[in-house]
């Protein structure tokens, strides 16, 4: 007898084969071994097989299907609400450009710029005049902000170099690179001409920019039609005349920083409140469903860890062998870990949402079809996750993510390698957080789907083709765990899994350890 062969398996009538341990166990404890093997096999069954084996309802599977449906509905609802907000912001910014930029045209190509001193003064006067007469001009529900009981002023600021003396004709200059800023305030009831004539003059040789600051208030009423309470908006506008290049071309731009908050005093007639309560109830159902899924998945992970320890002790006692880490990790279902993380994030997001809302080839393909369908379903879930993420987060900052159908078209184009540079380029000038998130989002999506998902999809069909080509009849076990479980020949429909014996590996270890 070889010295390396353990004695314990032979004592129980087991013999080594190329597939693992097999043979008839001639010991009374053989029933414990078979029961534990059956217990392991049941653990690794899919929900349908478990239902056939013990008749237990696949609650985790049903909850996951329900969760997919209600979370998708929640995301669509939130995305539509977010889309209304984005549309209101974009249309308001376009309105401000028409109101305050002289001779602005929608079809204007390139940068809006001016080239003479007279044009600069005329544009400054134009902006101030439009601000003072805003109530008589605009068709929107715009209003001035109030400060200490009166309308807030418009601030006109010039930014320039200190003590500059520049003479291009003599090729001489004397300049202090320190930057200074001077501002004046113009109230809606003030005199524009007097303020500019007495307190405001421009030295174009040292001038860096002229900036005009003011704030306007508005209310987004379109949400009422969708049974949501309107939000109040503060548009902090900045109109800049950029002369930093000193090239004779002054670029003009308008920037809007929006603050959204709950209106102080509101009243909506009819059924809006009932619909708001309905949304809260729906979000609560999402939280409860995710919480149930979280509990069930945590329980399954804990059961897997406990069974892994039992299997380790059992294998050492009966077969005198140590279980490898790869076998032990098979008890930890990675999908459960992902579901737990997803549930935690969904619960957190739903709580935050409630907080916001409380503002009140034919043969080969035929053989591979089941695996391809399962794979496509998993890939589709990831793809939809990226679609919703891009729609909700990047929609306010990028035209390609403005609506859900545009997001799907954009991401599908990225998978096929189309227009990658343009997508990255359009997000280059955004804020740092938007820029950072967009890079992580795009890099992770492209890397995941081009380098992994598509490669796995091709490998899946190729593997099936090779399987058919070589007429493989049985797949050999790749681990000691699979070899051990494979010895159990009981089918899920056999009824043998319904026996409720109290034997466990712990008892076996106590008796034979």
Closest CA to 314 of 4, 32, 13, 19: 32
Per residue in 457-482, is it b (16+ CB within 10 Å) or e — as a string? eeebbeebbeeeeeeeeeeebeebbb
CA-CA distance, 291 to 351, in Å (whole number)?
12
What's the whole-number mean pLDDT along residues 359-369? 55
CA-CA distance, 476 to 287, in Å (whole number)?
44
**DSSP H stretches of helix in 358-476:** 362-389, 404-415, 420-425, 432-446, 454-470
Give the pLDDT band (50/70/90) at residue 210.
Answer: very high
Asked if residues 85 and 356 have their Cβ atoms less than 8 Å apart, the reply is: no
Asked if residues 503 and 31 have their Cβ atoms less than 8 Å apart, the reply is: yes
CA-CA distance, 292 to 301, in Å (whole number)?
14
395 pLDDT more than 70: yes
Terminal CA-CA length for the chain: 23
Residue-wise pLDDT for 73-91, tens only, equals: 888 877 777 788 888 888 8
Decide which of 216 and 22 is more confident: 216
What's the whole-number mean pLDDT along residues 364-391? 73
393 pLDDT more than 60: yes
What's the whole-number mean pLDDT along residues 408-435? 73
Give the pLDDT band (50/70/90) at residue 213.
Answer: very high
Decide which of 121 and 3 is more confident: 121
CA-CA distance, 240 to 181, in Å (whole number)?
14
- Using CA of residue 389, residue 393, residue 277, residue 351, what is the dihedral sign? positive
Tokens 């549309």 belong to residue: 87
- Winning range, highest mean pLDDT, from 384-393, 423-432, 490-499: 384-393
Tokens 């729609």 belong to residue: 391
Lowest-pLDDT range, 148-157, 213-222, 270-279, 402-411? 270-279
What's the whole-number mean pLDDT along residues 391-402? 80
Lowest-pLDDT range, 97-101, 483-487, 500-504? 500-504
Give the pLDDT band (50/70/90) at residue 472.
Answer: very low
Decide which of 126 and 506 is more confident: 126
152 pLDDT more than 70: yes
Residue-wise pLDDT for 169-206, tens only, equals: 777 777 777 888 888 888 886 555 555 555 677 888 88
Give the pLDDT band (50/70/90) at residue 107.
Answer: low
Give the pLDDT band (50/70/90) at residue 469.
Answer: low
Asked if residues 449 and 385 have their Cβ atoms less than 8 Å apart, the reply is: no
What's the whole-number mean pLDDT along residues 237-256? 89
Residue-wise pLDDT for 289-306, tens only, equals: 989 888 988 988 888 888
CA-CA distance, 327 to 311, in Å (whole number)?
10
Asked if residues 52 and 490 have their Cβ atoms less than 8 Å apart, the reply is: no
Give the pLDDT band (50/70/90) at residue 513.
Answer: very low
Q: What are 165's strand-pairing partners?
A: 174
- Winning range, highest mean pLDDT, from 228-242, 254-268, 414-428: 228-242
Give the per-residue pLDDT at 15: 47
What's the whole-number mean pLDDT along residues 483-492? 71
Tokens of 404: 């859900």
Q: What rounded mean pLDDT belongs to the chain?
A: 75
CA-CA distance, 27 to 13, in Å (whole number)?
8
Give the per-residue pLDDT at 266: 65
Residue-wise pLDDT for 45-61, tens only, equals: 777 777 777 777 788 88
94 pLDDT more than 80: yes
Give the pLDDT band (50/70/90) at residue 239.
Answer: very high
% residues pLDDT > 70 (the chain): 73
235 pLDDT more than 80: yes
């Amino acid at each position: 007898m070889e010295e390396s062969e353990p004695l314990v398996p032979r004592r129980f009538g087991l013999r080594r084969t190329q597939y693992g341990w097999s043979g008839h166990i001639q010991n009374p404890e053989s029933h414990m071994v078979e029961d534990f093997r059956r217990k392991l096999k049941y653990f690794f069954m899919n929900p349908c097989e478990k239902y056939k084996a013990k008749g237990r309802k696949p609650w985790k599977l049903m909850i996951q299907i329900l969760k997919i449906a209600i979370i998708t509905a929640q995301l669509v609802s939130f995305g539509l609400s977010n889309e209304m907000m984005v549309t209101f912001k974009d249309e308001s910014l376009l309105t401000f450009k028409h109101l305050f930029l002289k001779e602005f045209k929608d079809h204007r190509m390139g940068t809006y710029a001016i080239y003479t001193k007279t044009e600069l003064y005329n544009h400054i006067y134009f902006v101030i005049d439009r601000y003072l007469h805003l109530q008589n001009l605009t068709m929107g529900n715009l209003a001035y902000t109030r400060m200490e009981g009166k309308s807030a002023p418009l601030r006109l600021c010039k930014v320039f170099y200190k003590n500059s003396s520049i003479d291009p004709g003599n090729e001489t200059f004397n300049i202090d690179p320190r930057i200074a800023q001077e501002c004046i305030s113009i109230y809606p009831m003030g005199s524009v001409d007097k303020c500019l004539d007495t307190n405001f003059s421009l030295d174009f040789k040292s001038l860096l920019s002229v900036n005009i600051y003011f704030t306007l208030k508005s209310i987004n009423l379109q949400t009422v039609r969708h049974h949501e309470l309107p939000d109040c908006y503060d548009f902090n506008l900045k109109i800049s005349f950029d002369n930093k290049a000193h090239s004779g071309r002054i670029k003009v731009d308008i920037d809007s920083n929006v603050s959204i908050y709950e209106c102080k005093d509101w009243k909506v007639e009819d059924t809006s409140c009932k619909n708001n309560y309905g949304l809260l109830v729906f979000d609560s159902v999402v939280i409860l469903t995710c919480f149930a899924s979280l509990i069930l998945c945590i329980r399954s992970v804990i059961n897997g860890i406990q069974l892994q320890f039992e299997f380790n002790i059992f294998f050492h006692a009966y077969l005198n062998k140590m279980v490898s880490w790869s076998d032990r990790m098979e008890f930890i279902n990675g999908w459960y870990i992902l579901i737990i993380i997803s549930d935690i994030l969904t619960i957190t997001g739903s709580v935050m949402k409630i907080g916001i809302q409380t503002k009140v080839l034919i043969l080969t393909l035929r053989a591979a079809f089941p695996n391809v369908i399962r794979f496509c379903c998993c890939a589709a879930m990831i793809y939809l996750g990226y679609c919703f993420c891009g729609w909700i987060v990047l929609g306010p900052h990028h035209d390609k993510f403005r609506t859900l159908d545009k997001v799907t078209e954009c991401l599908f184009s990225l998978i096929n390698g189309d227009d990658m540079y343009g997508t990255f380029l359009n997000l280059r000038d955004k804020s740092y957080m938007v820029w950072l998130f967009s890079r992580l989002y795009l890099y992770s999506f492209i890397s995941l789907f081009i380098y992994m998902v598509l490669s796995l999809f091709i490998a899946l069909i190729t593997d099936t083709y090779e399987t058919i080509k070589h007429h493989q009849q049985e797949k050999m076990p790749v681990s000691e765990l699979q070899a051990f479980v494979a010895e159990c020949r009981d089918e899920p429909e056999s009824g043998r899994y319904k026996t409720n014996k109290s034997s466990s590996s712990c008892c076996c270890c106590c008796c034979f350890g």
